[in-house]
Amino acid sequence: MLLTNEQKMLVNQPLRSKIFLQGRAGSGKTTAGVNWLKKLLASGAPAHEVLVFVPQRSLAEPYLACMRDEVEQAHSLITTMTLGGLARRMVDLFWPLVGREAGFAHPNQPPHFLTLESAQYYMSHVVRPLIEHEGYFESLTINRNRIYAQMLDNLNKAAIVGFPHQEIGTRLKAAWIGGIEQFNIYDDAQRCVDQFRQFCLAHNLLDFSLQVEVFFQHLWPLSLCREYLKRTHRHLIADNLEEDTPITHDLLRDWLPDFESAVLIADEEAGFRSFLGADVVSAFSLSAACDTHLWFEGNLVNEPGIAQLKSGVRAVIGRLQSRSEMDADRSTAAIGDALVMPKEHIKLFPSMVKWVAQNVAELVNEGTSPGEIVLLAPFMPDVLRFALADALDALGIPHQSHRPSRALRDEPATQTMLTLATLAYPGWAMTPQRVNLALALMQAIEGLDLVRAQVLVNLVYDPRASGLTLKPFESIPVELKDRITYRAGERFDRLRIWLMEVAQAADAPHLDFFLSRLFGEVLSQPGFGFHDNLESANTISTLIESVQKFRWAVGQQLPGEDFEVGQEYLQMVQDGVIAAQYIRNWEARPPDAVLMAPAYTFLISNQPVDVQFWLDIGSPSWYQRLDQPLTHPYVLSRHWEPGKLWDAEDELAASHETLRRLSIGLLNRCRKHVFVGMSALDIRGFENRGLLIRVINEAWQRSLREAS
């Protein structure tokens, strides 16, 4: 592809350079970075000596795609790495050197690295007795899985910001301005994370925070570790620095002199992962450690209307932030048809969904590829996702949803598999409820609707029976067989017999083996619900991976405890502790389907599109942070002054900055049109009065006035 003058400016730099490249999203920075990689390979640099450092693995895909295209020059593979991947790899490699020094009780035994799920499990193992027997968090009314997740988040913040985890409670209390009862909650949280850390040290368990701390405190200072990394990686490309953590920036600053060449890339007006510890200020401070500083000022994505809309939105939000009465940029006059709003007042949420579907259909009929359309909301709840999917299905428009934060346990395919698993392991005494079994059979058996599934369950399911609790289809009256249909009955019997064989087997398989066999031998076969269903197959594959990793992590039973790992997994899923989040690859997204996703998910994918729909723009969720009573992303950051109180002014300023980054970030990734979906009442029937409506309306009105 042809390069812009700015991109050529990077590629023409000497190979032995340390370059800091900044610019807004859509200016071609990553493309320039990919061409720098091509230059390295063409110069003879071995691919395995090139390190691509990113905040999350999906952001390395352009560089991996380059390797697939450059097979003639690349005789090995580049290394793509995140902070967590580097810390885990180094701790695993040099464990004998640091196990004892780091305080682990069994340094001569191998470490056990925890996933998000297994870390939540062990956190619940430590904290549940404190909640149930000692009255911890009595004044909180949130689900326990949120308590466990927020305490893990506190530990992660301490590790990536670089302060001792013993200071978490002190920092949170120092910024609190409310009632004193919150101090007790922070004290409880501090004692819980302290006990969890001691538990991990006693059992050689390393969650993300402990991996990072062991690496930075005990491995990074060792000359042996530094020399190993220096010899292994000689060229660095670090992309999306603004989405990475301050301790990652500290690492790169120290590591930079050891590289022969380095290109550091950062987006302006970004930092969307600030709630996960991303630090924009720290990222741009790395420019001082580089020999050359380059700016990309253009935008290769926006057409003129979107560019002017972006200018108007930026000006309106800037006025809100400064609280001045300055005029918006006069360039808003050229917005034209880039911004599309409903021509008539929309009162109810379903009417907004209908308006969105109709406009999507018109775009597709006019030649826009469905893959160039995204439907965005601050969150994508099940009700909204179902309503959009149903409306698009009725119009014959292909679609795909992507929600990394959606609980794996909430997927129908997951519920089906785990419900059937409880039947196959009667010794676990986890008999399902009738309604759950009916839903599972409806999903599992092709052609069986919910009404007939409920009738079937009422006739064949006896939860009080020993062994397999399902009766054969032949045992029900003939007139009801006709109602259910013999075809569905025959498929039910095949499934029942298969489950009975597993339940009566002398050696029951591990849960992940069982799920794999159930899908492969029964549910993926013709006549069953998952036959030729790739989305369900992907969900079940993820479920099996989740169970497998859980078995690996907790399969070594804790001292004095006796439990079945599969049973424990099912119990934790029911409690909402595990199977919580799983990130699917963006590669799996169909190339020609409308994407439905949360706004932040789309931003992090870093893929521009022609048309964006912003849904429910009256919702304050576009800019307000989540209520997290046990943690605080701003207070637990490197730039918060110790002892300073977090007040309403700080909250408002944070909301304005979040709205600016989110709206400008979306516009940077839009080529032609933004459709704004709004209704007077939200999905719950409350009035919509969010700040984003005000911003859009003001930018729109100013453009009309200037145009006239």
- The amino acid at 11: V
**Which pTM does this prediction carry?**
0.86
pLDDT digits 0-9 by tens, 639-649 = 999 889 999 99
Give the three-state DSSP class for 24: strand
Amino acid 459: pLDDT? 92
Report the alpha-carbon distance of residue 612 to residue 598 in Å, rounded.
Answer: 12
- DSSP letter for 217, please: I
Amino acid 480: pLDDT? 87
Give the three-state DSSP class for 268: strand
pLDDT digits 0-9 by tens, 138-179 = 988 888 888 999 999 999 999 999 999 999 999 999 999 988
Contact 247, 162 (CB under 8 A): yes
Amino acid 162: pLDDT? 94
Give the three-state DSSP class for 645: coil
Contact 627, 141 (CB under 8 A): no
- Separation in Å, CA 556 to CA 102, 216, 457: 22, 28, 38
pLDDT digits 0-9 by tens, 642-679 = 889 999 999 999 999 999 999 999 999 999 999 998 87
Instruction: Quote the tokens at residue 376.
Output: 């965005």
- How would you label 195-214 residue by residue, b for 16+ Cβ within 10 Å and e otherwise? ebbeebbebbbbbbbbbbbb
Q: Which stretches of the chain drop beneath a pLDDT of 50?
A: 325-333, 559, 580-581, 583-587
- Separation in Å, CA 305 to CA 147, 366, 534, 667: 45, 19, 39, 11
Amino acid 374: pLDDT? 96
Instruction: Detail the DSSP E strand segments found in 563-704.
Output: 594-598, 609-614, 670-676
Which parts of 578-690 fold into alpha helices (H)? 599-605, 648-668
Q: Sheet harboring 235-238: ordered strands across?
A: 79-81, 50-53, 235-238, 261-268, 18-24, 292-296
The angle subtended at Cα 256 by Cα 250 and Cα 260, nearest 5°, is 165
Amino acid 539: pLDDT? 86
Distance of CA 555 to the CA centre of its chain: 27
Report the alpha-carbon distance of residue 493 to residue 495 in Å, rounded.
Answer: 5
The 10 Å Cβ neighbour count of residue 394 is 10
Give the three-state DSSP class for 617: coil
Which parts of 12-107 fold into alpha helices (H)? 29-42, 61-69, 83-93, 95-98
Contact 211, 87 (CB under 8 A): yes
**Contacts of residue 198, Cβ cutoff 8 Å, sequence gap at least 6:** none
Report the alpha-carbon distance of residue 207 to residue 211 in Å, rounded.
Answer: 6
Instruction: Give the DSSP H or E segment for 679.
Output: none
Q: What is the 3-state secondary structure (H, E, C) of 120-147?
A: HHHHHHHHHHHHHHHCCCCCCCCCHHHH
Give the three-state DSSP class for 295: strand
Amino acid 707: pLDDT? 60
Instruction: Give the DSSP H or E segment for 322.
Output: helix 304-322
Report the alpha-carbon distance of residue 503 to residue 423 in Å, rounded.
Answer: 8
Report the alpha-carbon distance of residue 359 to residue 216 in Å, rounded.
Answer: 52
Closest by Cα among 669, 594, 621 to 401: 594
Amino acid 334: pLDDT? 60
Amino acid 406: pLDDT? 64
Amino acid 581: pLDDT? 47
- Separation in Å, CA 275 to CA 242, 485, 621, 627, 628: 13, 53, 14, 12, 11
